[in-house]
Structure 1
Amino acid sequence: MQGSCIDFEKERPKILEFIGTLEWGAHEKGKIECSSSGKALGWDFFQIYFDPGFVEKLLDLYPEIQKQEGNDVEQRFVLWLKMRMKKAKLEYYLKLKDVPHEAVKGFRLNPDHYRDDNELEKLR
């Protein structure tokens, strides 16, 4: 996920401390990386990478993640994390960035759900 703040060098320890509380709550050390991705117009941009296994553990621990308004699990997780950070008085702009999706052209049909001639005869 990507985020932005005013002074990343000052805010990075706060972000890592917050993530540490999530790790402590999950009783698991997640493979998490928080790094700067540049500056523009007075904003510092940063990336936070979460291990998918750690996110799955958080999904089991916090079922309210699934109740967030998002199209997929990743979006719901970002919205939930943003809400939790806001409760901890950490104001960052977080958004999902570069989620790998498989490019699909056309429809995907499951061969197990095809009708055969016998089923068509039953419908007549």
Structure 2
Amino acid sequence: MARTHAQAANDRSLQLGAIGAEESALLAQCLKPLVAGLAEPYREAIVRTEYEGLTQAEAARRAGVSVPGMKSRVQRARRQLGDLLGACCRVELDTRKAVRSVEKQGPCPC
């Protein structure tokens, strides 16, 4: 799941705000192992909706789950990714909750 800066910028789960190219690349680099470490249903939900660009309804159909079930998986996966990222990087958000800056700190899988 190698991602380019452009792919990271287009990722709907990341509101990049005024983040720079270097910080965006760091964020994309950090997310790759974090996504890979999610439990299967959550990883599948994020990969299908954020990386493959499927709607949650289409992702639900392909996974054989209800639409509310897929929405729940996506929300849980986003929350887990946020927690994991917050544990290894300092992420500053603006007033719209868009990423303003990312700074690696402490032990990090990225």
Shorter-chain TM-score range: 0.3 to 0.5
Which structure has more strand as a fraction of its residues?
1
Q: TM-score scaled by structure 2?
A: 0.34
Which structure has more helix as a fraction of its residues?
2
Q: TM-score scaled by structure 1?
A: 0.32
Larger radius of gyration: 1
Tell which has more relative contact order, 1 or 2 (C-alpha 8 A, sep 6+): 2
